[in-house]
Amino acid sequence: MRIFIYCADPREEADLEEKINEQLLSEDERSGAKKIIRLSFFGGPICLAHPDHLLKNDALWLLGQVRFAVKNFPGTNNVVLIGHDCGYYDCIPLLADGAKKREDIKRGVYFLHKNIHGLVIDAYYDNKSSFEKIMGAKKAHELRPVLQK
């Protein structure tokens, strides 16, 4: 079972869900033969990129949700993070251009890998027409050099 984490912005969510269904779900997931978990809330995976200061409570809440799913729903070990040109950045003291937003998705992958071992994580950026794959399943130690640039 896969967990999809993305923003709940009502201006974007319907389009985002449609693209997830068309571009990222398997046929079994689309038909309902395989279940998925959707965690949609304002800012989506942004909090995972800044867990030590700005968005600590949000990051810990989301980490708890993922841990709960992994523990209680057998076969749940895959997480899909989806970022976009999110207005949530306007609410936190971060200046973020497209490159920074993509980098934050990588930081979110690292945070999850560091805190929940054994997850398979895919990360995408919604560029309006399609999903840009930011990274596939990587181990946390492989991400550290990427994040220090």
What proportion of the chain, given as a percentage, has pLDDT over 70?
Answer: 86
For 2-147, CATH gives: 3.40.1050.10
Q: What is the mean pLDDT of the chain?
A: 85
Task: Please give the DSSP secondary-structure letter assigned to residue 130.
Answer: S
| Band of residue 83 on the pLDDT scale cut at 50, 70, 90 | confident
pTM: 0.87
Quick: pLDDT tens for 27-40.
999 999 899 999 99
Task: Please give the DSSP secondary-structure letter assigned to residue 122.
Answer: E
CA-CA distances (angstroms) from residue 121 to 86, 129, 136?
21, 22, 6
Checking if the pLDDT of 92 tops 80, the result is no
Checking if the pLDDT of 44 tops 70, the result is yes
Amino acid 79: pLDDT:
95
What proportion of the chain, given as a percentage, has pLDDT over 90?
Answer: 47
Output the 3-class SS for 25-70: CCHHHHHCCCCEEEEECCCCCHHHHCCCCCCHHHHHHHHHHHHHHH
Give the domain ranges of the chain.
2-147
On the CB side of 25, CA atoms within 13 Å amount to: 21
Amino acid 63: pLDDT:
95
In angstroms, rounded to a whole number, what is the distance separating the alpha carbons of residues 29 and 33? 6
Average pLDDT for 80-98: 76
Beta strand 131-135 pairing with 120-126: antiparallel
Checking if the pLDDT of 145 tops 60, the result is no
Checking if the pLDDT of 88 tops 80, the result is no
Amino acid 69: pLDDT:
97
Checking if the pLDDT of 20 tops 90, the result is yes
